[in-house]
Amino acid sequence: MRAHLRSILLSGLIAVLALGASAFPAQAAMPVEFIRETANEVLVILKDPALDSDAKIARIEKIAYARFDFETMSRLVLARNWRRLKPDQQREFVEQFKKHLSVTYGRNVDAYANESVDVTGDRKEPRGDWTVQTKILRGGPSQDILVDYRLRQKDGDWKVIDVVVERISLVSNFRSQIQEIISRDGVDGMLALLRSKNASGESILPEEDRKPGEKAAD
Amino acid sequence: MRRATRTSPPSALLIAALAFVLAPAVARAADPAETTDAETTAAEAPVADDAAGAEEATSPTDADPFQTFNRAMFDFNDSFDTYALEPVARGYDKVVPHRAQTSIGNFYDNLLFPIRFVNDLLQGEVDPAAVTLVRFAVNTTVGVGGLFDPATDIDLPAHRADFGQTLGKWGAPPGPYLVWPVWGSSNVRDTVGILVDAYFGIQTFFVDLPILIGSTAVNAVNRRALALETVSDVRDASFDLYSAARNAYNQQRDEMIKGEERARAERDADLYFFEDLEEEDVEIP
């Protein structure tokens, strides 16, 4: 028993050291599995004939909430503007950005019934990040779409911090937009615009289901 | 890993949507009255306390000295799309089956052969030039005059090549971002490229002007119909469609010219630059 515990501690220590030293042969498969698993979960939900659109959207939102690091994404989108925001403004930005992404990307769930996802490669990035390259196969005459996910570890779990669709980085694209809006309307104007944009799209999950940090349904 | 020259049909579709069609799209967020300050670039946030820190904030690709003109063109394109192109494309979409649209798209794509072939050669891209040549031969014959794309099925996917890209690979800088009526996103270099390609293309086919205009219109409507969902998705997903379109155009053109790896390295250096500052605990104004 004791020996067992010690070997767990030891392997934990080795894992930590390996991480710190950026030696990661054992680590390498993890991001790919994370993406594969997430894609499969999403596809199962999309193809479930028992679920209506709202139920599908709600479930996919939960997965996104658990697997995207919206705070890091927000910091990257705001870049040096991040520190210009007061803490409550930062919180609001993260919240609005999160809501915006979930609402817009959940909206067309019914269009994706025939899709499948292939992982086509992965690579290590600076700062311990990892990129997993995928191809969404849409079936029929529709063309495939290349989607790369950039992942970063947070509290031991991989989280998505950028999505690159057909070579267009979402973070870069939103950064351009947000900088443009801040330079025109200021920080308050930018937050007001996000609020009104989100209010015009439907909020799909009822408020009580939007608890921060909630885990995805397994 | 795929090379930049690969830029396959999905890319072509997205570029079509983003660069050509997205430009005539809603800039709901943009209030023309507030864009009159032409000198206000994205870098100059209206925070008075730090002129000094402003210069490193914005990627050079966001530079937009002609923004007032561009926004006006963008708004024009937006109205043109809302009141003319999109309604026509929606009607067309109801009448013309999706497979036929794909075939018509293939047909026009196949006609780009001379432009792509010559530009592949000008860029010194011998293998892609060979692919372009074989694609044209296969799709024109087996693919019934270009209506079908059997070349992609035998692993010869399409890649785009144009004279703007050639100039870029020869070292020409893009110059300021420009939006043209109907055409949409461009820049100084790519505008020269479009004119050269168009002249060369017209010389090659020497069709009558009315046929050329009619054919261009059919192509535009067909492309717009194929991009109906993509465009409405992008509209929904954007806070400021103008800068979203500009950024997307710049990112994709950058990659077509510098190649995937270099374009990505530069983009990431820009995206994560501020994290390095934070780690080093450099004071960010």
Split into its structural domains, chain B has a count of 1
Which DSSP category does B62 fall into?
G
Interface test with A, best of B98, B233, B258, B268 (most A CBs within 10 A): B268
Encode pLDDT of B169-200 as tens digits.
999 999 999 999 999 999 999 999 999 999 99
pLDDT band at A117 (very low <50, low <70, confident <90, very high): confident
Residue B64's domain comprises 9-281
Question: How does residue B48 score in pLDDT terms, banded at 50, 70 and 90?
Answer: very low
* pLDDT value at residue A109: 64
Question: Contact A167/B19 with Cβ under 8 angstroms?
Answer: no
Length of chain A: 218
* Annotated domain spans of chain A: 5-199
End-to-end CA distance of chain B: 40
Is pLDDT above 80 for B51? Answer: no
- The answer for B 52-111 residues in CB contact with A (under 8 A) is 53, 56-59, 62, 98-99, 102
The whole-model pTM stands at 0.77
- Give the model confidence (pLDDT) of A2-13 as tens digits: 455 555 555 554
Q: So what's the ipTM on this one?
A: 0.76
Residues of A in contact with B18 (CB under 8 A): 168
Interval A42-49 mean pLDDT: 86
Q: Is B1 on the interface with A (CB under 8 A)?
A: yes
Calculate what percentage of chain A has a pLDDT beyond 70.
Answer: 73
A38: Cα within 13 Å, side-chain hemisphere = 25
HSE-up (13 A, CA, CB side) for residue B252: 29
Within a domain: B2: no
**Mean pLDDT calculated for residue range B97-106:** 94
**Is the pLDDT assigned to residue B38 strictly greater than 70?**
no
Q: Which of A167-176, B27-36, B202-211 has the highest mean pLDDT?
A: A167-176
- Count of alpha carbons within 13 angstroms of residue B155, beta-carbon side: 0
Res A119 pLDDT > 80: yes
Q: Which residues of A touch B13 (CB under 8 A)?
A: 143
pLDDT-wise least confident of A80-84, B7-11, B159-163: B7-11
- Model confidence at B282: pLDDT above 60: no
Contact B249/A at CB under 8 A = no
Residue B3 counted as domain residue: no
Q: Contacts of residue B273 in chain A, CB cutoff 8 Å?
A: 79
Of B18, B233, B239, which is closest to A177 when you measure between CB atoms?
Answer: B239
Query: Which pLDDT does position B239 carry in this prediction?
Result: 93
How many angstroms separate the CA atoms of B19 and B185, rounded?
5
Using a CB–CB cutoff of 8 Å, tell me whether B38 touches chain A: no
b/e for A127-147, b at 16 or more Cβ within 10 A? eebbbbbbbbebeeebbbbbb
| Highest mean pLDDT out of A166-175, A207-216, B227-236, B267-276 | A166-175
Q: Could you tell me if A125 and B268 are in contact, meaning their C-beta atoms sit under 8 angstroms apart? A: yes
User: Which residues, other chains included, contact B163 with Cβ-Cβ below 8 Å and sequence gap of 6+?
Assistant: B115, B119, B122, B192, B193, B194, B196, B197, B200
List, as own/partner pairs, every contact residues A187-192 make where C-beta atoms lie below 8 angstroms and the sequence separation is at least 24, other chains included: A187/A81, A187/A84, A187/A85, A187/A89, A191/A89, A191/A92, A191/A93, A191/A96
pLDDT in tens, A169-213: 999 999 999 999 999 999 999 999 999 988 876 544 444 443 444
Residue B241 in domain: yes
pLDDT of A141: 65
Hey, are the CB atoms on A186 and B46 less than 8 Å from each other?
Answer: yes
- For chains A and B, count residue pairs whose Cβ atoms are closer than 8 Å: 136
Q: What is the CATH number of domain A5-199?
A: 3.10.450.710
CA-CA distance, B274 to A179, in Å (whole number)? 14
Tell me the mean pLDDT in the region A102-127. Answer: 79
